[in-house]
Amino acid sequence: EDKVVQSPLSLVVHEGDTVTLNCSYEVTNFRSLLWYKQEKKAPTFLFMLTSSGIEKKSGRLSSILDKKELSSILNITATQTGDSAIYLCAVGHYFGSNYKLTFGKGTLLTVNP
């Protein structure tokens, strides 16, 4: 059974702290790993990592894919209260000729002032 596991499930930090969120996966025919930020309803896209792009960075956020360990981390440095959200990890993979994204349950990050 395909699965994506995120840890921790929730995290509370103070502004300025650095956080690391984890995602591990077991899927058939892996193609990509995506990170999303969900503040209210709609998840917003952060990064997509593939075999040809295993490290991405945007401002204070960065992510690395470890295909050997079947995992990824999302780092946020100098956290701000606006970073408070659920961070979702999703893995794009094929089953037969069909493509799907399998999501983890997410990590709820709370950044206190």
Partner 1 sequence: GAGVSQSPSNKVTEKGKDVELRCDPISGHTALYWYRQSLGQGLEFLIYFQGNSAPDKSGLPSDRFSAERTGGSVSTLTIQRTQQEDSAVYLCASSLRTGWYEQYFGPGTRLTVT
DSSP-assigned states of every residue in 50-76? BTTB-EEEETTEEEEEETTTTEEEEEE
Q: Which of 31, 56, 73, 84 binds partner 1 (CB under 8 A)?
A: 31
Q: Which of 32, 63, 72, 79 binds partner 1 (CB under 8 A)?
A: 32
100 vs 93: CA distance, rounded Å? 6
Number of other residues whose CB lies within 10 A of the CB of residue 24: 18
Q: Which of 90, 91, 109, 111 binds partner 1 (CB under 8 A)?
A: 90
Q: Which of 11, 17, 61, 92 binds partner 1 (CB under 8 A)?
A: 92
41 vs 38: CA distance, rounded Å? 7
Which part of the chain contacts partner 1 (CB under 8 A), choosing from 12-20, 40-48, 60-68, 75-83? 40-48
Is residue 71 at the binding interface for partner 1, with CB under 8 A as the rule? no
The encoded tokens of residue 61 equal 């956020």
Residues near partner 1 (CB under 8 A) are 4, 31-32, 34, 36, 40-45, 48, 50, 88, 90, 92, 94-95, 97-106
